């Protein structure tokens, strides 16, 4: 099992206004509790105990709520972009420049709730002997726009900007959890500049350096109002099942 998970939680969350006019997206209320509470408890159930939060918009409120992570049984450290947001790739590069990254680590988006076996993901990455891995789900345009071609344990192409003339076999979608190494961040993401992590993933896929791990259970997120509604419905069912057991 990898020992570090980096959570990218610096974005402004414009699709979640008016919530995000006053809160970072990670603190959007979900069944009466901040989303981060649900996400961190889910990660703790997986056995993770070391997290690094990359934060920007609403960083002070998020840090005040989560603190050092001790109430979740975790050690949480913080990397802040301040008011100059660097994007998902730039945030990771800042973490590298500040010495906050392990040699290899999970990467998770701050609005994602993923019912996934993270140990299996780590094992698949090690077995691949590749510098990066992306979890994918066969989507066929159901949950969001498909952006990935996947075959036999490899991400053949990842391109979230491919909006026209989409290949017919681009029917998978990035599930939201990845494994990266320091080397990938250093080589593919420039220091001090705005950068999208998706561009690094595309580069890796084009060079046959991106492993894939297929997931069959759908992902949940609070990046949109529909996503919030779906997550609340899922969590209600989960809480009800736990109460009957």
How many Å apart are CA 49 and CA 58, to the nearest integer? 24
Look at strands 112-113 and 220-221 and give their pairing.
Answer: antiparallel
Q: What is the pLDDT along the chain (245 residues), one digit of tens a residue?
A: 799 999 999 765 556 556 556 678 889 899 999 999 999 999 999 999 999 999 987 889 999 999 999 999 999 999 998 888 899 999 999 999 999 999 999 999 999 999 999 999 999 999 999 999 999 999 877 878 899 999 999 999 999 887 667 788 899 999 999 999 999 999 999 999 999 999 999 999 999 999 999 999 999 998 888 899 999 999 998 877 776 65
Q: Into how many domains does the chain fold? A: 1
Strand partners, 155: 150
**CA distance to 36, 142, 172, 215, 241, per residue, from 137 (Å):** 23, 11, 5, 5, 25
| pLDDT score for 123 | 97
Contact (CB, 8 A) for 90 and 193: yes
Overall pTM > 0.85:
yes
- Report the alpha-carbon angle 126-116-112, nearest 5: 110
Q: In a 3-state reduction of DSSP, which class is residue 159?
A: coil
Strand partners, 214: 136
How many Å apart are CA 147 and CA 171, to the nearest integer? 7
| pLDDT score for 168 | 84
| pLDDT score for 148 | 95
| pLDDT score for 41 | 95
How many Å apart are CA 39 and CA 44, to the nearest integer? 9
CATH code: domain of residue 61: 3.90.550.10
| pLDDT score for 216 | 92
How many Å apart are CA 88 and CA 91, to the nearest integer? 5
Contact (CB, 8 A) for 33 and 25: no
| pLDDT score for 63 | 93
Contact (CB, 8 A) for 49 and 73: yes
Distance of CA 146 to the CA centre of its chain: 17
Contact (CB, 8 A) for 189 and 87: no
Domain hosting residue 239, numbered range: 5-244
């Amino acid at each position: 099992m990898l020992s570090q998970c980096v959570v990218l939680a610096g974005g402004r969350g414009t699709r979640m206004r008016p919530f995000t006019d006053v809160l970072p997206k990670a603190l959007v209320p979900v069944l009466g509790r901040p989303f981060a509470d649900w996400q961190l408890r889910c990660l703790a159930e997986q056995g993770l105990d070391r997290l690094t939060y990359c934060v920007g918009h609403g960083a002070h409120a998020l840090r005040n709520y989560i603190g050092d992570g001790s109430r979740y049984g975790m050690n949480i450290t913080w990397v802040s972009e301040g008011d100059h947001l660097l994007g998902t790739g730039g945030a990771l590069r800042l973490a590298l420049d500040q010495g906050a990254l392990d040699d290899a680590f999970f990467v998770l988006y701050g609005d994602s709730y993923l019912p996934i076996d993270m140990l299996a993901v780590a094992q698949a990455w090690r077995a691949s002997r590749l510098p990066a891995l992306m979890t994918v789900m066969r989507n066929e345009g159901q949950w969001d726009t498909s952006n990935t071609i996947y075959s036999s344990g490899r991400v053949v192409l990842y391109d979230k900007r491919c909006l026209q003339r989409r290949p017919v076999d681009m029917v998978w979608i990035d599930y939201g959890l990845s494994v990266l190494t320091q080397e990938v961040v250093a080589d593919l993401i420039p220091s001090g500049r705005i950068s999208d992590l998706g561009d690094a993933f595309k580069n890796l896929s084009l060079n046959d350096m991106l492993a894939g791990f297929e997931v069959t259970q759908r992902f949940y997120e609070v990046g949109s109002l529909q996503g919030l509604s779906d997550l609340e419905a899922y969590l209600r069912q989960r809480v009800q099942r736990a109460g009957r057991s």
